[in-house]
Every structure is written in structure tokens, then in C-alpha cells.
């Protein structure tokens, strides 16, 4: 069977037509596409899109259909992909030096891009759409949901590991009166976070979580655990144990997979989040065992599809304002957003919030939604 015949048989299984009028139909511009997909799988499909080898009006729906049948399972493993997976199992891809480099690869792309794509507080994580109608409302609802789950009170010390542009901490300080610390290895994030938070009781520090000392009443991470790496999960929770007071509460908000992972999608690893790995719930809870009590879990992964489509709409209405990002980059970025949305729509990816407390004699924890 030729590469094209194999790919067409897979497309037929998931009801993705070729060259037809359906929005999720693929329109091929370069017939070399089929060999590229069979040899490079997700990486080949994504790079081919970046280079204009194929078009699709509704990429989100098309990729959702591919994921629904686990399309790559019908392709033979390639040597480069096997080598990459083995490397991830053997090598720690998130050492201190690698973590800083990986973070800067993505988060230092340019604040001019992120200010146009995100909400007014620049929250680069899933919004909470239970009662929200706009992206700004969804992100504020997410901030407040986290604050209520953490049971924040005035004067408490709050640590945000991977604090981004500081939106969550600004909300917590303004509305709950906490004393906040935010850390990130990405210098451009820290600089803008300080600028946007001028006059508030927030200390932003550029550092790796492994370097931090002190004690905090509450700890939070939002979209951080995906960058920790499986080889570092136990060390991460050990550091949280060291930093959290005995009667403290911590919350981790993260994307999770349905099965344990040691490496990531090769397209995302090369272009979007180098070294990133999306953990399964089991990987998280096993790493926390013996140190923390899991008080609450909350999955609202479908809200991430909604969030991503808002980001896609925002940035595509403003590409002409930032012409320094060329067409290849724009296609790469759009593919990243829509492929991510498909992951959540197909329920291959989830958004989980985990609330932990240390063991011991503590009163009941009442979850909130």
C-alpha cells in the first residue's frame, strides 16, 4: 500500500474527505504530503501545513476527527520518532538550564503577540466559562475560582509558581488582600508583570522553582506542571512540601492526558513547548503520595476549547498589526491553537485543578465550583 493509499484509508475511517465542500475537508497542494505524514506523523502534518502543502477551512474539526480514531496508530513508527521518545525516557529534559531555555523559547516570543491574543489581564491558561460570556469574564472567573478554592484571607502569603504576566496575583491581591510572590524563568514575562502590577504588594522574581526558599500559606501553579517534566515531579512536590506551611493549601491547574506520558507530540516539542510533557492524573497523584492529601479534583477541559478558539479569533483579527511575524510563523501558531482545541474537543486532553493539603489533623475541606 502506498503512502497516499494508507493516508486515505485513515481519512475514510474518521470521515475526513479529500477536496470536497465540507469545512473539515483537506485540500492538498503538494502530493509529497502523504510520504511526509507516513514518515513524520504529527510533525510532518504540522510542518506541511506551515509550508502551505495543504489547506482546511475547519482544522479544529478535522483534527478532532483524526484524534477520535487515534490516526497515528495506523502508521508505522519511524526511527526519528522512536529515538526522540527514548531520549525523553532517558534524559531529563527539564533540568534548571534546559527549563529556562525552554520557557524563553515560548514565553519570550513577544509580548506584542500575547497582548493581542489574550484577555486584558493576559491570562495564558484555560478560562472558566460556567457563567462567562466573554474571554475577560472567563479569566476573571478562573482567577476567583482558584482564590475561593485556596480559601484566601487577608494577610496570607501566596506563592505563584510560573506566574506568567501576573494576572492571577493581581486579582488575589486586589480582592483578597494577600501578600504575593510570583516566579518565572522567562525574563520578558517578569518585566511586563512588574510593569502591569506597579503599586501592588507583589514581588516578581526571575528564577527556577528549585531555587526558591521560604514558607508560604498558600501555593498555586497555573499552566506550570506541563513544563516540570516526569523526571522532576517528585522533586517538584518535595519543594512544594518544603515551601508550604503545615496547615496550608495548594492548587495546581494544568492540562492532563488520559495516559501517562514521557514525551510530547513532536510538532509541539519542536515548535511550541520544547521539553514539555502533559502528565496524566496518575502521574500527578503518585508524585504527591506520602506528602499531600488530595482534597479535590475538578475537570473542565471543554472550557479550554472555548478559550483557545477565542485566542485564535483574537490573534487572527490582529496579525496585520504585527507584520514581523511572517506567514510561516502565523500558520504554525494557528495550527498550534487549533490542534490544541482539537485535543480538548476529542477528550484526549483535559484541564484539571487539583487541591492538596498536607497530612495531619485538619478539618474538612469543602470544595467550591
User: What pLDDT does residue 265 have?
Assistant: 86
Alpha helices in 91-215 (DSSP H): 96-107, 111-117, 135-149, 167-176, 187-196
327: left (phi over 0), alpha (psi -120 to 50) or beta: alpha
Comparing C-alpha atoms, which of 21, 49, 57 is closest to residue 33? 49
User: What pLDDT does residue 164 have?
Assistant: 95
Domain covering 96-358 in this structure, CATH number: 3.40.50.150
Q: What is the tens place of the pLDDT at every residue in 297-330?
A: 999 999 999 999 999 999 999 999 999 999 999 9
Indicate the pTM of the whole model: 0.92
CATH 3.40.50.150 region(s) of the chain?
Answer: 96-358
In whole angstroms, how far apart are CA 242 and each of 79, 328, 363?
Answer: 42, 45, 22
Which residue stretches of the chain have pLDDT < 50?
none
Buried b (16+ CB within 10 A) or exposed e, 234-262: ebbbbbbbebbeeebbbbbbbbbbeeebb
User: What pLDDT does residue 81 have?
Assistant: 58
Q: What is the DSSP letter of 56?
A: -
User: What pLDDT does residue 33 have?
Assistant: 97
Alpha helices in 177-255 (DSSP H): 187-196, 233-243
User: What pLDDT does residue 98 have?
Assistant: 63
Residue 103: phi, psi to the nearest 5?
-65, -45
Amino acid at each position: 500500500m502506498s503512502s497516499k493509499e494508507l493516508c486515505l484509508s485513515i481519512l475514510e475511517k474518521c470521515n475526513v474527505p479529500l477536496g470536497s465542500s465540507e469545512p473539515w475537508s483537506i485540500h492538498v497542494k503538494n502530493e509529497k504530503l502523504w510520504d511526509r505524514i507516513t514518515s513524520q506523523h504529527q510533525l510532518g502534518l504540522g510542518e506541511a501545513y506551515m509550508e502551505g502543502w495543504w489547506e482546511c477551512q475547519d482544522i479544529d474539526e478535522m483534527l478532532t476527527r483524526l484524534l477520535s480514531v487515534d490516526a497515528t496508530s495506523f502508521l508505522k513508527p519511524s526511527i526519528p520518532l522512536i529515538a526522540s521518545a527514548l531520549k525523553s525516557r532517558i534524559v531529563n529534559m527539564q533540568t534548571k538550564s534546559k527549563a529556562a531555555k525552554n520557557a524563553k523559547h515560548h514565553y519570550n516570543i513577544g509580548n506584542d503577540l500575547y497582548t493581542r491574543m489574550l484577555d486584558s489581564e493576559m491570562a495564558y491558561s484555560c478560562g472558566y466559562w460556567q457563567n462567562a460570556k466573554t474571554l475577560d469574564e472567563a479569566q476573571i472567573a478562573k482567577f476567583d475560582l482558584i482564590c475561593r478554592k485556596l480559601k484566601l484571607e487577608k494577610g496570607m502569603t501566596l506563592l505563584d509558581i510560573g506566574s506568567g504576566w501576573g494576572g492571577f496575583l493581581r486579582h488575589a491581591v486586589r480582592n483578597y488582600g494577600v501578600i504575593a510572590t510570583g516566579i518565572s524563568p522567562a525574563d520578558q514575562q517578569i518585566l511586563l508583570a512588574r510593569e502591569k502590577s506597579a503599586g501592588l504588594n507583589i514581588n516578581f522574581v526571575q528564577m527556577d522553582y528549585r531555587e526558591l526558599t521560604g514558607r508560604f500559606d498558600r501555593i498555586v501553579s497555573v499552566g506550570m506542571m506541563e513544563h516540570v517534566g516526569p523526571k522532576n515531579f517528585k522533586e517538584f512536590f518535595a519543594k512544594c512540601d518544603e515551601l508550604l506551611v503545615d496547615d496550608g493549601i495548594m492548587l495546581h491547574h494544568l492540562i492532563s492526558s488520559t495516559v501517562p506520558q514521557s514525551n510530547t507530540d513532536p510538532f509541539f516539542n519542536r515548535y511550541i513547548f520544547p521539553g514539555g510533557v502533559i502528565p496524566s492524573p496518575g502521574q500527578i497523584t503518585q508524585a504527591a503520595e506520602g506528602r499531600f492529601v488530595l482534597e479535590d479534583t475538578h475537570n473542565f477541559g471543554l472550557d479550554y476549547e472555548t478559550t483557545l478558539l477565542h485566542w485564535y479569533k483574537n490573534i487572527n483579527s490582529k496579525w496585520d498589526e504585527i507584520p514581523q511575524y511572517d506567514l510561516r510563523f502565523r500558520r504554525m501558531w494557528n495550527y498550534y491553537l487549533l490542534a490544541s482545541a482539537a485535543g480538548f474537543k476529542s477528550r484526549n486532553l483535559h484541564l484539571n485543578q487539583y487541591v492538596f493539603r498536607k497530612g495531619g489533623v485538619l478539618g474538612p475541606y469543602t470544595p467550591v465550583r
